[in-house]
Structure 1
Amino acid sequence: MREKYIEQGLVKAVKDRGGICPKWVSPSFAGVPDRLVFLPKGKFGLVEVKAPHEKPRKLQVSRHKMFESLGFEVYVLDSVEKIGEVLDAIETT
């Protein structure tokens, strides 16, 4: 299963829950999470999408820690089966 397939599943699941999930592309700030998740009632999350069993690169881990130090959770998603779990976590924070 490819990362693209998981990412497409995430975008659809967010839309099904009434939210939006834009891709975060930042040429001047590499290593940021792939997707911003905006859900109803002001819920927000940062999601790094990976192919199954892949881990974030060193720079990505550094960026995740930076966001976490600011109080934001960064979710690493590596399977379509975990999409609901990640979105549930975002909705309950």
Structure 2
Amino acid sequence: MKERDIEALLRDGVKQLGGKAYKWVSPGNAGVPDRIVILPGGKVIFVELKQENGQLTRLQKIQQDTLRAMGAAAVTLYGADEVRMYLEELKEMLERGAKAARISELLH
């Protein structure tokens, strides 16, 4: 599967979860992740997408390390299967968050 197809899979999956997966292009900042994912509740994740056999470049590693050092979530997903698994993890996280919010409302 081509990287653009993997990006479409992520974009469409995040949309189904009620979020956005913006394409990130940052002139003068080579190596930034492919997508900025914003989920309901304000969770922001920087996502680099690769084909199954792809590898991060040195600049991509530096950019991710920089983002993480500032407290941001930055992940690399390899291939369609990893994207699908990650989307399932995000779905479960959102469901847990919604349940916790409902319980919190009941307690207050």
TM-score (norm 1): 0.88
| Residue 31, structure 1, aligned to residue 31, structure 2 | yes
Identical columns (%): 36
Superposed, 1:49-64 pairs within 5 Å as: 49-64=49-64
Q: Aligned residue for 2:40?
A: 40
* Residue 80 of structure 1, CA deviation: 1.5
Higher helix proportion: 2
Structure 2 unpaired stretches of 5+: 95-108
- Deviations 1:52-77 (Å, cap 9, x if unpaired)? 12111001101111111111121111
Contact 2:44–2:73 (8 Å) recurs in 1: no
Instruction: Give the whole-Å Cα distance in 2 for the aligned partners of 1:89 and 1:61.
Output: 23
Q: Find the residue that maps to 1:52 and give its secondary structure.
A: coil
Q: Which amino acid aligns with 1:69?
A: A
* Residue 48 of structure 1, CA deviation: 0.2
- Deviations 1:19-68 (Å, cap 9, x if unpaired)? 01110001111110000000101111000011112111001101111111
RMSD value, Cα: 1.7
Q: Aligned residue for 1:4?
A: 4
* Residue 85 of structure 1, CA deviation: 3.3
Moved over 6 A (4+): none
Q: Aligned residue for 1:81?
A: 81
Structure 1 unpaired stretches of 5+: none
Instruction: Give the whole-Å Cα distance in 1 for the aligned partners of 2:34 and 2:57.
Output: 13
Which structure has the larger Rg? Answer: 2
Equivalent residues, number: 92
Q: Aligned residue for 2:70?
A: 70
